[in-house]
Amino acid sequence: MSMARRLLPALVAIVVVVLLGAACASDSSTSGGDVGERPVRVTTTANFITDLAEVIGGERVEVTGLLGPGVDPHLYKASAGDVAALRDADVVFYGGLDLEGRMADVLDELSDDKPTIAVSEGIPDDRKRQPTEFEGKFDPHIWFSVPLWREAVDVVEQAYVELDPDNADGYRERADAYRAELEALDAEVRETLASIPDDKRVLVTSHDAFGYFGEEYDFEVVGIQGTSTATEATTADIDRVAGVIADRGLEAVFIESTVSPQTIRAVLAAAERRGQTARIGGELFADAAGERGTPEGTYIGMVRHNVGLIAEGLAPSGSR
């Protein structure tokens, strides 16, 4: 029992520390004066959302993106600086639909303090893809359908106008201009893809990020692996996909910037045995755009890059 008495002070110490920490939850809310006299501080997750926030915000905003190029948002690891980026932001934009995994809980709690806005929130349920098994769970990869991404522009515009009404005209102007750009992009995508005949409109990729792309631009999307990155492709998956490549006579399959290319090589080998030689048509941007400062670092550049590669890989040789 003497041991119990000796450890009692330690128990008291723990209780004191807990009371100290628990009783005074952080009250360090946003500081630094009203929006209007200073730039709007914006924090975003994936880098194509950063791009969107910058384009619509123009000179009125300072955007901090948490996720760089090549980062799978589901596997994002926070750094010490991200705490301040979230705490000091006037508004946080994120993908939503579980794109950010567990971070969504944090963003949800943060919404008591400041607007945290899923850019996918304006999309009606009937335009969202729902994986068959589960009610109420939607595919988060909306950005490869340009018309759906256009909805995200409205969401961001609306948020800025509410936050900084004095400069509403500027936001509206930039949003209108960008919507026009996206419409032009959509037309360009359709024209580029028109060179691919109907029977070759099959996009084979390593992971399921292109569901909305497929629906919008009339492609059958064959993912080797499911949406979860925890499981690996089975031999049956590899066989199934190799079968599709052989049956449809596809000349190219694609890898993604955030997923390992190993599995897709196994698929190509299996297709080869079935007598169809296909090649890797290149690396598509999936869950992140490219390096900042390169053409692929913007949303528009990322879409152009992907569509260019797909057209080059799947269009019959004569039309290229």
Partner 1 sequence: MSDAMIIVLTAGLTATALALLGPFLVLRRVALMGDAVSHAVLPGIVAAFLVFQTRAPLVVILGAAAFALICVLAIEALRGTGLVASDAAIGLVFPALFALGVLGIHRYAANIHLDLDSTIYGEIAFAPFRTLDLGGVEVVRSVLIMGVVAAVNLGLITLLWKELKVTSFDPDFARSIRFSPTVVARLLLIAVAVTAVTAFESVGAILVVALLIVPAAAAYLMTDRLVAMVAIAVAIGWVSSVVGYAGAVEVDASIAGAMGLTAAVIFGIALLASPRHGLIARAVRRARTRRAVERALAEERGAQGAGA
Span 24-63, contacts to partner 1 by CB under 8 A: 24-28
The answer to whether 14 contacts partner 1 (rule: CB under 8 A) is yes
Span 133-192, contacts to partner 1 by CB under 8 A: 133-135, 137
Measured distance CA(9)–CA(4) in Å, rounded: 10
Nearest residue (CB) to partner 1, 130 versus 195:
130
* Structure-token match 């301040």, residue found: 84
Nearest residue (CB) to partner 1, 51 versus 100:
100
Name which position in 37, 80, 124, 273 contacts partner 1 (CB under 8 A).
80
The answer to whether 198 contacts partner 1 (rule: CB under 8 A) is no
Q: If we measure between CA atoms, which residue out of 42, 34, 35, 47 comes closest to residue 58?
A: 42
Name which position in 30, 234, 262, 294 contacts partner 1 (CB under 8 A).
234
205, 256 Cβ separation under 8 angstroms? yes
Cβ atoms < 10 Å from Cβ of 141: 23
Nearest residue (CB) to partner 1, 132 versus 317:
132
The answer to whether 4 contacts partner 1 (rule: CB under 8 A) is yes
The answer to whether 220 contacts partner 1 (rule: CB under 8 A) is no
Measured distance CA(177)–CA(271) in Å, rounded: 45
Interface segment toward partner 1; rule CB under 8 A; list 22-30, 155-163, 197-205, 263-271: 22-30
The answer to whether 75 contacts partner 1 (rule: CB under 8 A) is yes
Name which position in 32, 58, 101, 165 contacts partner 1 (CB under 8 A).
101
- Tell me the pairing of strands 116-118 and 202-205: unpaired
Nearest residue (CB) to partner 1, 81 versus 147:
81
CB of 276 vs partner 1, minimal distance in Å: 25
As given in the structure block, the two tokens for residue 26 are 């952080």
The answer to whether 90 contacts partner 1 (rule: CB under 8 A) is no
The answer to whether 10 contacts partner 1 (rule: CB under 8 A) is yes
Interface segment toward partner 1; rule CB under 8 A; list 44-52, 128-136, 157-165, 259-267: 128-136
The answer to whether 215 contacts partner 1 (rule: CB under 8 A) is no
Binding site for partner 1 (CB under 8 A): 3-4, 6-7, 10-11, 14-15, 17-18, 20-28, 74-75, 77-84, 86-87, 98, 101-103, 105-106, 109-110, 131-135, 137, 208, 226-232, 234
